[in-house]
Amino acid sequence: MSKINLVPTGEKEAVRVAYGKALVELGRENDKVVVLDADLAAATMTNGFKKEFPERFYDCGIAEANMVDMAAGMSTMGLIPFCSTFAVFAGRSYDQIRNGVCYPKFNVKFGFSHAGITLGEDGGSHQAIEDLALMRVLPGMTVFAPSDANECRQCVKAAAEINGPVFIRTARLPSPVYEARPFTVGKGDVLKEGKDCVIFTCGIMLEHCAEAVQILEEKGVDAALVSFHTIKPFDSELALEWTQKTGHVFTVEEHSVIGGLGDAVADAICGKGCFTFKKIGINDEFGQSGKPADLLKEYGLTGAQIAEKILKSL
Amino acid sequence: MTVQELQNVARQVRRDIIVMTNKAGAGHPGGSLSATEALVALYFDVMKGVDPKDDKNPNRDRFVLSKGHAAPGLYGTLCERGFFGREEFDHFRQLHGILQGHPDVKKCPGVDASTGSLGQGISIAVGMALGAKHTGNPCHVYTMIGDGESDEGMVWEASMAAAHYKLDNLTVILDHNGMQIDGTNDQVMSLGDVYAKFAAFGYDIIEVKDGNDMQQVLDALHAPACPGKPRLILLQTLKGKGVSFMEGQVGWHGKAPNAEQTAQALKELEG
């Protein structure tokens, strides 16, 4: 069996922290970059940018919808605005993202943090489990769900180079940092080859999927592991390739099983053959308060639980 | 242009509104007719850098029609200003037409933002004005909102931000015709003391007693900016202005005139 091509640096860093650092780096390289926040700079980690570039940081107050359309207007003056707030407020500002930014194809970026149940104690009201679904369906939107700090930096850099709307989903919880891997927008990342089944994942579920792969190996199952930092445009070709190679497909995401990565994979492989297909994620329900580790267990997303679900389906 | 000439353009724009909504069998004549003087004043007299041959000139003044359903009024004005030919009216609201049901920045020359989802245009205009200040662009940003549109909380979020960022390069024009889809403002959602509300949000306000009087509209739009404050021009207008059977009638918010009504309207709008 082949090894997982992931080299832990031993560091842990929340993807949102990497987002904040990446904005500062980007700010140094590109003076067109401005950052907007809705009174959450200490949480979305844009406060680093605010400190270094106070004249390029705009607080919009607790008014996310207005922030998004202000960014739309600013983009028409040649600026590259990055809007930052919690992923759950993608819903609150959705009409603005749709009609104010995507419909005219304005050059606005969304760095939305605290996605998924690993937000933890703040509870279900704040745990976005629908943001990928909302963003995927918008024409012209690029959707990133980076798996670690290094990938997030690459996503932020790429976002500034794309002419059009880009959504970056980031997590609050510190997670392992892996050595940086080659990055191409719209391309998936084969982290382990395998012949018995394939696990497709995105975001910080990568850590738990890597654990599941080890457990499966101990049970004699050789699983392939593919991570997607780009949910849209989706690397359908790669998804289909590993589907056809293994015949048994599992998707794992910290998002509803409806509308996210699982459905992107389904769109890619549906009608192309007969495969085992199971989506592992949040099963059409809301989250709740708790410690992130306890929540992952409650919703069946630990490495051991992922492995168990796969074994049952094979 | 003289005031008389501007009035003549406004009359032609009103004819355009009637013609295109009749051809399409749909559209919003009432709120287009109430807004006509302001639209014509902006594009023919007030805004700097308006040039149909160079509609992307970065330093041009911007206009965002936040009450995007008044698209027929904007299209008539842009057409008379030379952004496209009158033949486009045949394709208003039609497949592949540049004149979409609501203004589309990707399709229609001279349009600065896609609008129609109410409340958003003013917020985009605030962003434009802020972006202009940030980049040192000398342009002025104008936006027109409706009174019904002011039910949207976003109008107030945007207004708060406009005052906070001291956007004296922004002019918000409120087309206060007193009516919206389901009835008068007071029947649907009372605006109360609209002057006091916008004043409390930090605008420097000019009230125009007759927003369908070209001279009064021009005077307001040419008034010098108040340093450090966004401007709001409160236009008291008449919905359906210029067409007797549409004036002050809620029912003509989003209804097209039939052939007979069109003939009568055009007769009333003859020079």
Residue-wise DSSP of chain A: -PPP---EEEEEEEHHHHHHHHHHHHHHH-TTEEEEESS-HHHHTTHHHHHH-GGGEEE--S-HHHHHHHHHHHHTTT-EEEEEEETTHHHHTHHIIIIIIITTT---EEEEESBSGGG-TT-GGG-BSSHHHHHHTSTT-EEE--SSHHHHHHHHHHHHHSSS-EEEE--SSEEEEEPP----TT--EEEE--SSEEEEE-GGGHHHHHHHHHHHHHTT--EEEEE-SEEES--HHHHHHHHHHHSEEEEEEEEESSSSHHHHHHHHHTTS---EEEEEEE-SS---SS-HHHHHHHTT-SHHHHHHHHHHH-
CA distance A257 to A88: 16
Binned at pLDDT 50, 70 and 90, residue B55 comes out as very high
Q: Which residue of A64, A74, A108 is the best one to mutate when testing the B interface, meaning the one whose CB has the most B CBs within 10 A?
A: A74
CA distance A282 to A117: 9
Say if the Cβ atoms of A63 and B132 lie within 8 Å: no
- Has residue B271 got a pLDDT over 80? no
Q: Taking the mean position of all CA atoms in its chain, how far away is CA B152?
A: 17
Say if the Cβ atoms of A104 and B105 lie within 8 Å: yes
Residues of chain A with pLDDT under 70: none
* B124 Cβ under 8 Å from any chain A Cβ: yes
- Which residue is closest to A59 within chain B, CA to CA? B161
Structure ipTM = 0.94
* B249 Cβ under 8 Å from any chain A Cβ: no
Q: Which residue of A62, A76, A85, A101 is the best one to mutate when testing the B interface, meaning the one whose CB has the most B CBs within 10 A?
A: A76
- Has residue B192 got a pLDDT over 80? yes
What does the pLDDT read at residue B118?
97
Helix axes B3-24, B214-222, angle to 10 degrees: 110
What residues of chain B, 163 to 192, have a C-beta less than 8 Å from chain A?
164-165
In this prediction, residues B20-26 reach a mean pLDDT of 97
CA dihedral (A86, A90, A91, A93) in degrees, to 10, reads 110
Tokens 């457990």 label which residue? A215
Catalytic residues of A: 64
- Which residue is closest to A105 within chain B, CA to CA? B106
| Per-residue model confidence as pLDDT tens digits over B158-179 | 999 999 999 999 999 999 999 9
In this prediction, residues B20-35 reach a mean pLDDT of 97
CA distance A202 to A296: 15
Type of residue at B194: V
CA distance B18 to B262: 6
Residues of chain B in contact with residue A56, where contact means CB-CB under 8 angstroms, are: 134
Of A66, A77, A96, the CB nearest to B132: A77
Say if the Cβ atoms of A60 and B113 lie within 8 Å: no
CA distance A262 to A145: 13
Cβ atoms of A225 and A198 closer than 8 Å: yes
CA distance A248 to A242: 9
Bond preceding residue A139 cis, omega within 30 of 0: no
The whole-angstrom distance between B128's CA and the closest CA on chain A is 4
Binned at pLDDT 50, 70 and 90, residue B126 comes out as very high
CA dihedral (B9, B14, B20, B22) in degrees, to 10, reads -150
Q: Which residue of B130, B143, B167 is the best one to mutate when testing the A interface, meaning the one whose CB has the most A CBs within 10 A?
A: B130
Q: Determine whether A123 is exposed, middle or buried from the number of CB atoms within 10 Å of its CB (0-12, 13-18, 19+).
A: middle
Say if the Cβ atoms of B120 and A95 lie within 8 Å: yes
The whole-angstrom distance between B193's CA and the closest CA on chain A is 24
Type of residue at A186: G
Binned at pLDDT 50, 70 and 90, residue B88 comes out as very high
Say if the Cβ atoms of B123 and A58 lie within 8 Å: no
The whole-angstrom distance between A89's CA and the closest CA on chain B is 15
Cβ atoms of A85 and A144 closer than 8 Å: no
In this prediction, residues B19-45 reach a mean pLDDT of 98
Of A81, A105, A44, the C-alpha closest to B134 is: A81
Residues of chain A in contact with residue B58, where contact means CB-CB under 8 angstroms, are: 77-78
Interface list for chain A against chain B, based on CB atoms closer than 8 Å = 34, 56, 58, 60-61, 63, 65-66, 69-79, 81, 95-96, 98-100, 103-105
What does the pLDDT read at residue B214?
98
Say if the Cβ atoms of B158 and A69 lie within 8 Å: yes
Local structure of B172: helix, strand or coil: strand
Residues of chain B in contact with residue A105, where contact means CB-CB under 8 angstroms, are: 106
Distances (CA, A) of B151 to B79, B124, B127, B191: 31, 17, 21, 8
Residues of chain B in contact with residue A57, where contact means CB-CB under 8 angstroms, are: none
The whole-angstrom distance between A95's CA and the closest CA on chain B is 8
What does the pLDDT read at residue A1?
74
Strand order across the A248-256 sheet: A189-192, A223-227, A197-201, A248-256, A276-282
Of B105, B135, B161, the CB nearest to A70: B161
Cβ atoms of B231 and B259 closer than 8 Å: no
When computed from its CA atoms, the radius of gyration of chain B, rounded to whole angstroms, is 17
Q: Which residues, at least 6 apart from B96, have a Cβ–Cβ distance to it below 8 Å?
A: none
Residues of chain A in contact with residue B160, where contact means CB-CB under 8 angstroms, are: 61, 63, 66
CA distance A300 to A307: 10
pTM to 2 decimals?
Answer: 0.96
